[in-house]
């Protein structure tokens, strides 16, 4: 049996959702696409389920591809947020260390004037 348009659509939407879910790893500017990727992935899952109900061949594969796309979309922002938080903590630690160094230098200079 040939793939129907429903199965092809579910596969394509799942792949598009997965790719759009991975784009934020390349640049933070792609985070704006996450909402659109959610919608595309969910539509892919719905079309895949409809194809399964209609007993189309390979509909399960299309649905799995869409589900994997949605899982990627959920995972990537969390990974991105964790990286961003680590960088922020590191930056704050560097600033705090520099401030402490400056405070110690000022205290030493003041002590030497006495």
The answer to whether the beta carbons of residues 18 and 72 sit under 8 Å apart is yes
Per-residue pLDDT of 6-31, as tens digits, reads 778 877 877 777 777 677 667 666 66
CA atoms of 68 and 41, how far apart (whole Å): 9
The answer to whether the beta carbons of residues 15 and 69 sit under 8 Å apart is yes
Per-residue pLDDT of 31-65, as tens digits, reads 677 777 778 888 888 888 888 888 777 778 878 88
Domain limits for position 109: 5-113
Domain count, the chain: 1
């Amino acid at each position: 049996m040939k793939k129907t348009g429903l199965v092809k659509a579910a596969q394509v939407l799942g792949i598009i959702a997965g790719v759009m879910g991975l784009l934020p790893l390349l640049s933070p500017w792609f985070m704006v696409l996450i909402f659109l990727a959610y919608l595309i992935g969910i539509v892919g899952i719905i079309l895949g389920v409809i194809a399964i109900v209609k007993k189309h061949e390979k509909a399960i594969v299309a649905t799995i591809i869409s589900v994997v796309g949605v899982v990627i979309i959920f995972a990537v922002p969390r990974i991105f947020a964790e990286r961003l938080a680590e960088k922020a903590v590191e930056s704050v630690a560097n600033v705090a260390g520099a401030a402490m160094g400056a405070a110690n230098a000022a205290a030493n200079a003041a002590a030497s004037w006495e």
